[in-house]
């Protein structure tokens, strides 16, 4: 580690001397053999990203599978709707690479390991914040550049995340000096100015100089350049330059998100306001896009966090984004929520359903007709359709519902296990699916043609009804707004009770 005297002489020592001492300390740390003290993400960057253009599927699988916990979490994320819309069963890392793609699996692994460093109880608070910035800025840049077909958004994620590599190293090997430097930042002294005074170079310079020793592909190394005012105002940016601009925007947006509560603006308003400072580069993006972009990032973070949940993280940045996906975390804006039903659960509603004269439960048709009314009201649904498994053919037909969609597809056998689309998970696994924006590039090609006109950008809820033989019905609901997503998240338990209650009802043939 750099000696304590360094902080006392940093402001007067020659920049070249400080730079050499800083780089020497970091290189010694990397080469010291103290691998137990290194973060897994540093190892992953060195072992995988440095060979991004030559590494094989088997080598990537071995690197990801080296740690059992990491491998398990990669497979869990790979099996989610956002990455695997067809619901194909993924049980091994090589299989996940074949189905989802090399770049996505590599990025999932990097994201998970960054999230580990951003988690509670793992390193200093400063180090956690650096890891959170690296991950979140990478996801924002990736989401932003998905709107630019000429740019590889997966590549942009890695480029943007690597811009924090230098600070991740400094916070790992020089934690005291890093914390002290952070404390010196003020409106008159920017972070880059302080870094030059304390370390002799900026954190981006650290990343470029250290990673240049790792034989990174030129496409990655060239992205580790400052974003200049000339670049921001330039016209017709090349894809490599656009990644640098998007990275700069993502980094600054992370700062804004932490301060957005005090400004009185919503995160999406902050994102749109900041985009205007980049001239024509992002001028074509509508305000609604920034809402969707941040919602996508929040969902990705939630998927990566898994059962741990993003709300458990100390990082102000991750907690701010978690409040987008889970508004109840934002206590300042939390309002009392209306209960699902007067009885508190859908099970209570089902208990009050009409009964046949002989005392047996009402037919499933009668029950579902009433349940659909409740779901439409409670989830703000504008369309509902119930698909029942046909008795002869291996298909599911639209038998019940409300709205124009049901009128258009009534009685048609539109679902089958062979058709790989968003319903596949429901039919083969009996799992529910909640899609916030079906028009996202990774999702929309799996939305059946007959559903696209009705759903467009509206949220979509698919509820699987199962018994011992598998999925016997699927409830499809099209939401009216993002309020449908928030309500569905809050109603996870009542919806499970609904499925259990419906399974207890006597199933008679549900006619047209």
Q: What pLDDT does residue 312 have?
A: 53
The answer to whether residue 220 sits within a structural domain is no
Asked whether residue 317 is assigned to any structural domain, the reply reads: no
Mean pLDDT of 483-503: 74
pLDDT-derived band at 194 (thresholds 50, 70, 90) equals very high
Of 283 and 337, the one with more pLDDT: 283
Task: Give the total number of structural domains in the chain.
Answer: 1
Q: Specify if 401 maps to a domain.
A: yes
Q: How many Cβ atoms sit within 10 Å of the Cβ of residue 199?
A: 28
- Domain assignment present for 356: yes
What pLDDT is attached to residue 395?
86
Span 64-101, pLDDT tens digits? 555 555 555 566 566 655 555 555 666 565 666 666 66
* Secondary element (H or E) of residue 295: helix 287-305
Measured CA to CA, the distance from residue 484 to residue 7 in angstroms comes to 53
Q: Please tell me the pTM assigned to this model.
A: 0.62
Tell me: pLDDT of 367 over 50: yes
Q: Show the tokens assigned to 209.
A: 């100089």
Token couple for 234: 């330039």
- Domain-located, residue 69: no
What's the average model confidence in pLDDT over 352-358? 46
For residue 23, what pLDDT is reported? Answer: 94
Residue 118 lies in a domain: no
What is the C-alpha radius of gyration for the chain, rounded to an integer number of angstroms? Answer: 26
Which residues, in sequence order, are CB contacts of 28 under 8 Å at separation 6+?
Answer: none
Q: Summarize the confidence of residues 426-442 as an average pLDDT.
A: 84
478 near 460, Cβ under 8 Å?
Answer: yes
Quote the pLDDT of residue 418: 83
CATH number at residue 401: 3.30.450.40
Helix (H, G, I), strand (E, B) or coil at 471: strand
Residue 402 belongs to a domain = yes
Q: Give the 3-state DSSP-derived string for 208-244, with helices as H, strands as E and coil as C.
A: HHHHHHHCCCHHHHCCCCCCCHHHHHCCCCCHHHHHH
* Across 334-340, average pLDDT: 37
Position with higher pLDDT, 311 vs 456: 456
Domain with 476, as residue range(s), is 346-504
Please, what is the end-to-end C-alpha distance for the chain in angstroms? Answer: 75
> 22 in a domain, yes or no?
no
Taking residues 257-281, what's their average pLDDT?
A: 83
Q: At 406, is the secondary structure helix, strand, or coil?
A: helix
pLDDT of residue 332: 36
CB 171 within 8 A of CB 273: no
């Amino acid at each position: 580690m750099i000696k304590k005297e360094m902080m006392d002489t940093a402001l007067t020592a020659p920049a070249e001397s400080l730079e050499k001492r800083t780089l020497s300390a970091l290189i010694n740390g990397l080469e010291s053999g103290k691998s137990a003290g290194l973060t897994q993400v540093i190892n992953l960057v060195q072992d995988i990203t440095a060979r991004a253009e030559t590494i094989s599927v088997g080598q990537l699988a071995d690197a990801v599978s080296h740690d059992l916990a990491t491998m398990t979490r990669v497979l869990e994320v790979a099996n989610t709707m956002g990455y695997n819309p067809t619901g194909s069963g993924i049980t091994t890392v090589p299989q996940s690479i074949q189905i989802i793609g090399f770049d996505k699996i590599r990025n999932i692994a990097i994201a998970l390991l960054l999230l580990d460093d951003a988690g509670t109880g793992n390193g200093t608070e400063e180090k956690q914040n650096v890891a959170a910035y690296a991950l979140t800025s990478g996801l924002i840049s990736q989401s932003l550049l998905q709107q630019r077909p000429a740019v590889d958004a997966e590549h942009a994620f890695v480029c943007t995340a690597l811009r924090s590599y230098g600070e991740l190293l400094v916070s790992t090997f020089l934690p005291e000096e890093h914390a002290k430097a952070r404390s010196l930042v003020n409106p008159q002294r920017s972070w880059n100015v302080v870094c030059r005074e304390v370390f002799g170079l900026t954190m981006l310079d650290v990343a470029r100089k250290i990673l240049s020793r790792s034989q990174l592909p030129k496409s990655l190394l060239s992205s580790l350049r400052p974003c200049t005012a000339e670049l921001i105002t330039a016209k017709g940016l090349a894809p490599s330059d656009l990644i640098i601009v998007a990275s700069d925007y993502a980094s600054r947006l992370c700062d804004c998100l932490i301060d957005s509560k005090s400004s009185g603006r919503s995160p999406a308003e902050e994102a749109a306001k900041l985009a205007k400072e980049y001239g024509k580069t992002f001028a074509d993006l509508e305000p609604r896009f920034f809402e969707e972009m941040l919602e996508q990032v929040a969902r990705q973070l939630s998927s990566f966090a898994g059962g741990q949940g993003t709300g458990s993280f100390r990082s102000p940045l991750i907690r701010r984004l978690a409040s987008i996906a889970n508004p109840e975390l934002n206590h300042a804006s939390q309002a009392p929520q209306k209960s699902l039903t007067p009885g508190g659960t859908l099970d209570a509603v089902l208990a009050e359903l009409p009964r046949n004269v002989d005392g047996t439960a009402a037919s499933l048709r009668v029950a579902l007709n009433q349940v659909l009314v409740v779901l439409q009201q409670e989830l703000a649904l504008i369309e509902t359709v119930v698909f029942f498994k046909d008795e002869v053919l291996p298909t599911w037909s639209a038998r019940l519902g409300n709205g124009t969609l049901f009128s258009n597809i009534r009685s048609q056998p539109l679902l089958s296990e062979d058709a790989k689309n968003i319903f596949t998970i429901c039919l083969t696994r009996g799992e529910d699916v909640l899609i916030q924006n079906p028009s996202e590039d990774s999702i929309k090609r799996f939305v059946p043609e007959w559903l696209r006109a009705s759903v467009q950008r509206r949220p979509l809820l698919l509820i699987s009804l199962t018994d011992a033989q598998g999925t016997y019905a699927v409830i499809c609901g099209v939401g009216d707004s993002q309020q449908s997503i928030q309500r569905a998240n809050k109603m996870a338990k009542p919806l499970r009770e609904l499925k259990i209650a419906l399974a207890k009802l006597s199933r008679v043939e549900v006619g047209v």
